[in-house]
Amino acid sequence: MTEPADRSEPEPAATPGGSAVTPADAADAARLVAFGLQPKLQPARDQEYTELLRRHREDPVFARLADAVAAGLGLVVLEVSPRAGMAVTAAEDSVFAVRMGDYARRAATDSADRFLHGLAHLAVAALAFPRPEDLADDGYIGRLSVNGVDAFVRQACRRLEERAAEQGENTDPATDAPGLEAAWRIWVRRSATGATKDARRPAGSTTGIVGKAVAFLTDSGFLQRTGDDNGGTYRTTARYQLQVRDMAGSAAMAELLELGVVPVTDGTASLLPAEDTDDLELVADAGLPFHS
Amino acid sequence: MTSPASTDSVPPQLSAGPRPAPGPAADEGLARRLRALACTAPLHDLDARKANLAGEYSVYGMAEVALAAIDLVTLNMDFDTGADHEQIVARLIPRISAQAPRRPVAEHERVARWVLENLINVGSVDRGFRAVYGTFAPDGTYVRRDYDFKLVEEVPGPGGTVYLRTTDEAVNVLVGALDTDVTSAQIAAEVKLEVLINRGRLADAQLAAEQARYRTVQYSETLRRALDATRRNVRAVDWLNAVPDMIAEALDHVADRYRHENAILTNIRKARDESEDPGHKRRAAELVDIVKDCIRRHTQLQSRLLEAGPLFRAEQDRQAFATPMTTSGLDLYGHLVAPVLPLPVERAVRVTDAFFARGTGLRTPVSVRVGDLVDLLLTPPVEREHLGAEMPEPDLIATPDDSRFSDEQLAAATELLDLPADAPRRLSGLLTEARRRDPELPYLVALLAVHAASPPVGTAYRQGEEKLLFAVDDGTELDDPEFGGADLIVGTALLDAAGMAADRTEAA
């Protein structure tokens, strides 16, 4: 279905009006972007794709042209390399962007479901790249399973539950203000799975929600399915790392800061060396169920 | 504490008048008890709602069945998985059928399923329960709160199966007050068990043994979570002291319990074998089963503990000895997941939305051309070759029949051994009779008689046989030209096929 989009691409590309850009160059640039729109396509598997990538690397004029085509279509270029291919992603409000309402029907009306779907994506990324180094290391391949993601979130929630109990806090939400309920309780409350007539995961259960997330990410070319154990096992692709590192992570961070939540304490202003200790403390507390 | 304290000259709280509620501490205790009380509500509810079921179900004690179900699930929870749904239903049926023995088994099963489904609360999307209770906030206002809890939850097992687990709420409130330190509680329970057995008080001993087993389950559950967490990030866990200490402690614990439980096992076995009272005997036999199960669980725990060291080393190689990288400065868990979870959901959803919007990639919008659509709709479906390649005809070779005895001989021997139930015979007589018919036949008869000395009772029971050939040695020597040994008494025992069938459905 990318073919019609492909045909329409040369038009925005034709406008730059550079020195020696021919319509054939514009077509090639658009062709490269079209390849980038097929995220599951491996650059090494297609000779034409490989050739266009090489041209992008070696010919700055062509590179600018391809980037302009992408920008005109409402795409953000994350990286152009032999391993990731033409890694493009949808800019905000682009026709290529994924909307929550299209993704899950219930999520459009129910804020709890909306949160669960969003958190599932966040948790998949967090488990795929557990340490900051993993997110930075281009050669790192993360591995995860559906049940593992659910267990991981539940573990973090359990820790919060214990901490609240230690402080004698009553976390039960007020009946007339469900929006003030602590977010972790929503996940804990939802059942992990359930018996159904056709032996599939119930879509509303947390493993069902995580399963939907990883299936969707697999379609986006971000994950590859490697097995059926633990509800399905997956490994990450270079594109996913780029997407999380350069797009999603920073966007979510910005939103969090806007809410007035600053995850790093003042004493550890420089992120790089303090990263480990900060990480160590948080994960240690959240990950270990026994009291130390 | 309750006022924002803008000026420090005001004497604290003295002029505030009578408080609308007792102190927050008292209220907290009340809230805790209200929550504990709420956990029992689903059980009472079962008895209240049984009248609404189509049919006459008031004879069944639903709360009793529900408590039994929770006990069964707790006891059958394994290290990795939980209890099997069907198994729990099957084990509940004997109790239910005892409540109403004249009703059909199908109805008993229906009751079991109804109770179990209501404990899971299948109808709701959360599959849980909610109770509303009120507390006084620190500023004296009355707040209604929702308490959400589950009793039995469904968890994913290996191979996509679904298992049942009891929640902490169910264990704490409904199985017993177990909200204590696991290790010490376990030691206490076992000391108590040993004392009780020594004094021969088996009824109390059984109770203590069951409590010990609940604790064993809880203990392994705690450890399972701990090991799972260490797999995630080596540096998140203190591998210098805390975890090795924990593992050593747990291994000691397993070794200790193992010794302990084996001693108990020997004791109970003795009690079982020496006891005259059939009630004591039965109870001791049950105890043996419980303690055996404890030992099995400890062994399982031990093997997990031994895997922990190699797992750490492998993870360390992978995580710690890699060349240091420049980090991206973003720690997904520490910077995003951990801070988002405690936020109120209406604020947290903004962060997850932002992540979702930019973390899901792109979708190429589907555009359809009418021309394509018409073509597509008019194309006849492609015939698919779903049968696969043709199977080659297998080339079979007839094997020669090299059996020692022919079918006729077997028929003759069976006929000879088809004895009336009230008239067993000596082997010597049977052999003589067999020899008159066929010189080979005595060998077959002797063989069948020897086999009958240890009759396959289990098989006969499972297959619902009506009679069974047996042979007993009463010490008489066999006087025969061809065979030596004991002159067995061979007879037929009649089996209660109908009774066995009923037993089988119960045990299944």
Q: What is the pLDDT of residues B240-278, one digit of tens each?
A: 776 677 677 777 777 777 777 777 777 777 767 776 777
pLDDT value at residue A52: 93
Structure tokens at B341: 């979870």
Size of interface A-B (CB pairs under 8 A): 339
* DSSP secondary structure string for all residues of B35-56: HHHHHHHHHHHHHHHGGGSSS-
Secondary structure E strands in B108-244: 129-136, 142-149, 152-156, 162-166
Cross-chain Cβ contact B28/A271 below 8 Å: no
Q: Residues of A with CB below 8 A from B334's CB? A: 263, 278-279, 282-283
pLDDT bracket for residue A64 (50, 70, 90): very high
Q: Residues of A with CB below 8 A from B358's CB? A: 89, 92, 243, 247-248, 251-252
Q: Is the pLDDT of residue A283 over 50?
A: no
Handedness of CA A262, A263, A267, A272 (dihedral sign): negative
pLDDT value at residue A14: 43
Q: Is the pLDDT of residue A122 over 90?
A: yes
**Judged by CB atoms within 8 Å, which residues 41-60 of A form the interface with B?**
none
Range B290-312 average pLDDT:
77
Cross-chain Cβ contact B125/A190 below 8 Å: yes
Closest CA to B324 of A273, A278, A81, A244: A273
Q: Residues of B with CB below 8 A from A175's CB? A: 132, 144-146
B14 or B248: which leads in pLDDT: B248
Q: What are phi and psi of B39, to 5 degrees?
A: -65, -25
Interchain contact B370–A (C-beta under 8 A): no
Nearest-by-Cβ selection for B153 from A160, A168, A192: A192
Q: Residues of B with CB below 8 A from A179's CB? A: 344-346
What is this structure's pTM? 0.56
pLDDT value at residue A48: 92
Interchain contact A244–B (C-beta under 8 A): yes
pLDDT value at residue A55: 92
Query: pLDDT, tens digit, for every residue of A213-267?
Result: 999 999 989 999 998 877 889 999 999 999 998 888 888 888 888 888 776 533 2
Structure tokens at B490: 């061979």
Interchain contact A4–B (C-beta under 8 A): yes
Q: Say how many C-beta atoms besides its own lie within 10 A of residue B310's C-beta.
A: 9
* CA B252/CA B267 separation, integer angstroms: 23
Nearest-by-Cβ selection for B336 from A122, A176, A290: A122
| Mean pLDDT, chain B, integer | 75
What is each CA distance from B305 to A46, B215, B226, in whole angstroms? 49, 18, 11
Interface probe, candidates B118, B155, B220, B328, chain A, greatest A C-beta count within 10 A: B328
Query: pLDDT, tens digit, for every residue of B121-167?
Result: 887 777 888 888 888 877 778 888 888 888 888 887 766 778 888 88
* Helix H or strand E encompassing B492: strand B489-494
Nearest-by-Cβ selection for A111 from B159, B349, B354: B349
Cross-chain Cβ contact A176/B144 below 8 Å: yes
pLDDT bracket for residue B393 (50, 70, 90): confident
Cross-chain Cβ contact A118/B356 below 8 Å: yes
Q: What percent of chain B has pLDDT over 90?
A: 1
The ipTM is 0.81
Interchain contact A288–B (C-beta under 8 A): yes
Nearest-by-Cβ selection for A179 from B246, B328, B346: B346
What amino acid occupies position B2? T
Cross-chain Cβ contact B237/A284 below 8 Å: yes
pLDDT value at residue B390: 76
pLDDT bracket for residue B182 (50, 70, 90): very low
**Judged by CB atoms within 8 Å, which residues 153-182 of B form the interface with A?**
153-156, 158-160, 162
Query: pLDDT, tens digit, for every residue of B400-444?
Result: 777 788 888 888 888 888 888 788 888 888 888 888 888 888 888
Nearest-by-Cβ selection for A191 from B154, B337, B362: B154
For tokens 């503990």, what's the residue?
B305
pLDDT value at residue B180: 41
Interchain contact B128–A (C-beta under 8 A): yes
CB B294 within 8 A of CB B216: yes
Query: pLDDT, tens digit, for every residue of B74-106?
Result: 777 765 567 888 888 998 999 999 988 888 888
Interchain contact B349–A (C-beta under 8 A): yes
* CA A84/CA A70 separation, integer angstroms: 16
Q: Is the pLDDT of residue A27 over 90?
A: yes
pLDDT bracket for residue B361 (50, 70, 90): confident
Q: Is the pLDDT of residue A275 over 60?
A: no
For tokens 């725990």, what's the residue?
B301
DSSP-derived secondary structure letter, B477: B
Query: pLDDT, tens digit, for every residue of B437-490?
Result: 888 888 888 888 888 887 777 777 777 777 888 888 888 888 888 888 888 888
In chain A, the residue whose alpha carbon lies closest to the alpha carbon of B345 is A183
| Mean pLDDT, chain A, integer | 78
B325 or B454: which leads in pLDDT: B454
Nearest-by-Cβ selection for A111 from B85, B346, B364: B346
The C-alpha of B118 sits at a distance from chain A's nearest C-alpha, in angstroms, of 13
* CA B503/CA A162 separation, integer angstroms: 47
Gyration radius of chain A's alpha carbons: 22
Query: pLDDT, tens digit, for every residue of B53-82?
Result: 777 888 888 888 988 888 888 777 765 567
Query: pLDDT, tens digit, for every residue of B29-61?
Result: 677 778 888 888 888 888 888 887 777 888 888
Nearest-by-Cβ selection for A156 from B162, B327, B338: B338
Closest CA to A94 of A77, A109, A115, A117: A77
Interface probe, candidates A95, A161, A197, A288, chain B, greatest B C-beta count within 10 A: A288
DSSP-derived secondary structure letter, B415: H
In chain A, the residue whose alpha carbon lies closest to the alpha carbon of B324 is A133
Cross-chain Cβ contact B154/A283 below 8 Å: no
Interchain contact B335–A (C-beta under 8 A): yes
The ranges assigned to domains in chain A are 19-90, 100-280
pLDDT value at residue B54: 74
Cross-chain Cβ contact B336/A253 below 8 Å: yes
For tokens 């004497």, what's the residue?
B11
The C-alpha of B306 sits at a distance from chain A's nearest C-alpha, in angstroms, of 19
Q: Is the pLDDT of residue A117 over 70?
A: yes
Q: Residues of B with CB below 8 A from A5's CB? A: 364-365, 367
User: Helices B407-417 & B427-437, crossing angle to 10 degrees?
Assistant: 140
CB A76 within 8 A of CB A247: yes
**Judged by CB atoms within 8 Å, which residues 144-203 of A form the interface with B?**
147, 150-153, 155-157, 160, 168, 170, 172-176, 178-187, 189-195, 199, 201
Q: Residues of B with CB below 8 A from A94's CB? A: 362
**Judged by CB atoms within 8 Å, which residues 90-109 of A form the interface with B?**
90, 92, 94-98, 100, 103
Cross-chain Cβ contact B128/A191 below 8 Å: yes
